[in-house]
């Protein structure tokens, strides 16, 4: 069923919704907008901790709509950020949820990383993990596997 009449737009909407539904299931949430904020916050924190080349390599595997908010506001000259600690990474994500401080930021990050592991090729996930400092890499709780063939 077409929503926009433009196949590329309909496809990215469908794929993005699959990612968001996957995240909702992992977090036990029912709020699509909150899931979007979680995905966006974690992807931007991840982006800012990766070298420019790795940032672009990951972007190439994101749905077009997700890629848009992943890149939105990015300043390549400022990346990767100097701060490489897990706590700073989690604080970056938590800033997106100032109005709901009761949320478990580490749980959110782990869930988004699981979604990435499912939908991005295992080779790319391994490259991302290798580019991250150990404290942040430790948030990736499962081995990369994918729905790609």
CATH number at residue 43: 1.10.490.110
Examine residue 4 and state whether it is found in any structural domain, yes or no.
Answer: no
Predicted local distance difference test score (pLDDT) of residue 145 = 53
Q: Is-contact 65 114, C-beta < 8 A?
A: no
For the question of whether the overall pTM of this predicted structure is more than 0.85, the answer is: yes
The confidence band for 149, taking pLDDT boundaries of 50, 70 and 90, is very low
Q: Taking the CB of residue 60, how many other CB atoms lie within 10 A of it?
A: 9
Examine residue 93 and state whether it is found in any structural domain, yes or no.
Answer: yes
Asked whether the predicted pLDDT for residue 20 surpasses 70, the reply is: yes
Mean pLDDT, the chain, whole residue set: 92
Predicted local distance difference test score (pLDDT) of residue 64 = 96
- In the chain, the percentage of residues whose pLDDT exceeds 70 is 93
Examine residue 147 and state whether it is found in any structural domain, yes or no.
Answer: no
Examine residue 19 and state whether it is found in any structural domain, yes or no.
Answer: yes
Domain holding 107, by residue range, is 13-137
Examine residue 128 and state whether it is found in any structural domain, yes or no.
Answer: yes
């Amino acid at each position: 069923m077409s929503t926009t009449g433009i196949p590329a737009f309909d496809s990215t909407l469908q794929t993005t919704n699959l990612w968001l539904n996957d995240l909702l299931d992992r977090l036990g949430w029912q709020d699509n907008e909150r899931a979007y904020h979680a995905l966006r916050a974690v992807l931007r924190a991840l982006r800012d901790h990766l070298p420019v080349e790795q940032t672009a390599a990951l972007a190439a595997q994101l749905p077009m709509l997700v890629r848009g908010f992943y890149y939105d506001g990015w300043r390549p000259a400022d990346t990767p950020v100097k701060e490489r600690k897990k706590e700073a990474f989690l604080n970056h994500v938590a800033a997106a949820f100032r109005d709901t401080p009761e949320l478990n930021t580490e749980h959110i990050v782990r869930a988004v990383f699981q979604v990435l592991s499912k939908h991005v090729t295992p080779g790319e996930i391994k490259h991302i993990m290798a580019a991250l400092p150990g404290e942040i890499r430790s948030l990736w709780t499962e081995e990369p596997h994918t729905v790609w063939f």
